[in-house]
Amino acid sequence: MKIEVQFDQSANIMASYNGKVIGMSDSPYMIYLATVGMCSAVYVRAFLQQRGMSLEGVTLDELINYNRQENRVEHIEIQVNLPAGFPAKYEKAIKAVVDQCPVKKHFVMPPSVSVVANLEQELIS
């Protein structure tokens, strides 16, 4: 499974799957998965903009290894695709900024989740 993340003319971040932009009309699970790549893109965008570098030709691919038998994601790889001529000296820095993404961190060390069912109590008069 591959989610593609791109920047539009205004530097807005757009994620797509199979050529279709992922939006609020998609499944919550697809939106959840897309947030890893989109969050990574936020950090890449900030890094490049702080250095006055163009976003032209910069994309991210989120490669998801999904185990259908267990119905869960086993591995996610974020590929930051940089244009020809991109300064090689920034390769380690780009990886480091993507590692700062809090969404990625939550995938690596997920929080505990609990479910509470609150039943409305009838008032006795």
- How far apart (Å, rounded) are the C-alpha atoms in residues 108 and 47? 22
pLDDT tens sequence across 87-99: 999 999 999 999 9
Domains and CATH numbers, the chain: 2-108 (3.30.300.20)
Q: What is the pLDDT of residue 120?
A: 77
Q: What is the pTM of this model?
A: 0.85
124 pLDDT band, cuts 50/70/90, is low
The one-letter amino acid code at 11 reads A
